């Protein structure tokens, strides 16, 4: 896909650093859909993004709660993990649309489980195992706010 950026990430520290780099471009909000197998690094990347935004304290996986809200100077963020979601309609019952404020940063792990209910992503992130490292691909999404991807091209 045109505009795609692919990066090889060596370890957890590098994944956190990538998250911090992405956070620099999300101050005005944005929606990221994160894809990857279990253990690929979706939550680590999310932690890096949230810490890069200035979220202090522990950043935990919302696997059992579906969503964890965070506040940072000048904004708020929502981290979703839909791995345990049984039916996308459950998102309607929890008021999913209320979380997608245009100024919010919204990170969604396992977005395919909310298909048909979730708004379009600004950026789609694919994380794959690549030997002992990870390969991260950032794709422009239909949501549109993704011009910042150009900053990641070499």
Is 19 part of any domain?
A: yes
CA distance 36 to 54: 25
Is 152 part of any domain?
A: no
Domain around 128? 5-145
Is 154 part of any domain?
A: no
Q: pLDDT: is 79 or 59 the higher one?
A: 79
Structural domains in the chain (count): 1
CA distance 91 to 36: 21
Confidence (pLDDT) at 89: 87
**What CATH number did the domain enclosing 42 receive?**
3.40.50.300
Q: H-helix or E-strand containing 81?
A: strand 75-81
Is 150 part of any domain?
A: no
Is 89 part of any domain?
A: yes
Lowest model confidence (mean pLDDT) among 20-24, 29-33, 116-120: 116-120
Is 151 part of any domain?
A: no
pLDDT of 1 above 50: no
CA distance 142 to 16: 26
Q: State the chain's mean pLDDT as an integer.
A: 91
């Amino acid at each position: 896909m045109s505009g795609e950026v692919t990066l090889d990430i060596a370890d957890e520290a590098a994944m956190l650093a990538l998250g911090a780099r992405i956070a620099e471009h999300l101050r005005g909000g944005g929606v990221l859909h994160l894809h990857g197998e279990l253990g690929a690094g979706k939550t680590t990347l999310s932690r890096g993004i949230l810490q890069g935004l200035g979220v202090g304290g522990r950043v935990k996986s919302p696997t059992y709660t579906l969503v964890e809200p965070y506040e940072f100077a000048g904004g708020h963020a929502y981290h979703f993990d839909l791995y345990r979601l049984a039916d996308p309609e459950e998102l309607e019952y929890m008021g999913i649309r209320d979380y997608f404020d245009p100024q919010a940063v919204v990170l969604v792990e396992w977005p395919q489980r909310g298909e048909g209910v979730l708004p379009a992503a600004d950026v789609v992130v694919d994380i794959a195992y690549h030997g002992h490292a990870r390969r991260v691909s950032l794709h422009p999404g239909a949501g549109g706010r993704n011009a910042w991807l150009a900053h990641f091209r070499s």
